A and B are shown apart, each in its own frame.
Chain A
Amino acid sequence: MSAQDVQDWIGKQVAGNDVVLFMKGTKTMPQCGFSMQVAQILNHLGVEFKDINVLEDMSVRDGIKAYSNWPTIPQLYVKGEFIGGCDIVREMFQAGELQELLNAKGVANNAQTLTA
């Protein structure tokens, strides 16, 4: 795939899934502590998400960094919007902001009943 093809492919994943996590490893077998933390937070909140293992494809690993102008992985996208990496997701989760954002964007999660 050319660099542009990779960008198009990433764009389709981000547009076609409500919640996408670009990570090292998979949601069932994360291969990096930072990726694991974000996957755990999403699982804890009962959020359905698509996991994309960047270790399987070097062009995606590099491409996602260009896509978001963000140098590290994991990267979380909700309804097409880049939310952040591990630090931001954890900070938002601890502040209850991630739950608010999911609710505001209409993404099913188990914190819904608590804030409704």
Chain B
Amino acid sequence: MAMAADDIARMIKERFPDADIRIEDLAGDGDHYSATIVSEAFRGKSRVQQHQMVYDALKGNMGGALHALALKTTAP
């Protein structure tokens, strides 16, 4: 059970069309990623809210198919 970096980026982009997304495969195993996401949608939101928005965009894959995704979210 793993997800390709492209799939993660695509799902995030669908939800945050303006986003600047950088995804790194930390271990090279398709299972441990870090994502840096910059989107206007995050402005004025708490970090918890920002990450919840991203988890929501990933539609339940986080904690399931996607074991580890270190998130860094900011507004531009």
A interface residues (Cβ-Cβ under 8 A, vs B): 34, 65, 69-72, 82-88, 91-92
Q: For chain B, which range describes its interface: under 10, 10 to 19, 20 to 34, or 35 or more residues?
A: 10 to 19
Which residues of chain B have C-beta atoms less than 8 A from A65's C-beta?
A: 63
Which residues of chain B have C-beta atoms less than 8 A from A84's C-beta?
A: 47-48, 51
The docked-state distance in angstroms from the alpha carbon of A93 to that of B43 is 21
Cβ of B47 and Cβ of A70 under 8 Å apart? Answer: no
Closest to A83 in B: B48
The docked-state distance in angstroms from the alpha carbon of A72 to that of B67 is 9
Q: Give the dominant DSSP class at B's interface.
A: mixed
The docked-state distance in angstroms from the alpha carbon of A54 to that of B51 is 21
Cβ of B70 and Cβ of A87 under 8 Å apart? Answer: yes
Of all A-B residue pairs in the complex, the 8 with the closest CB atoms, nearest first, are A71-B63, A71-B62, A88-B47, A72-B63, A87-B71, A71-B55, A87-B70, A84-B48
Q: Which of B51, B60, B64 contacts A88 (CB 8 A)?
A: B51
Cβ of A72 and Cβ of B62 under 8 Å apart? Answer: yes
The docked-state distance in angstroms from the alpha carbon of A86 to that of B48 is 11
CB-defined interface of B11-55 with A at 8 Å, one 1/0 digit per residue? 000000000000000000000000000000000000110011001
CB-CB under 8 A for A91 and B72, given A65-B63, A72-B62, A82-B48: yes
Cβ of A87 and Cβ of B72 under 8 Å apart? Answer: yes
The docked-state distance in angstroms from the alpha carbon of A82 to that of B49 is 11
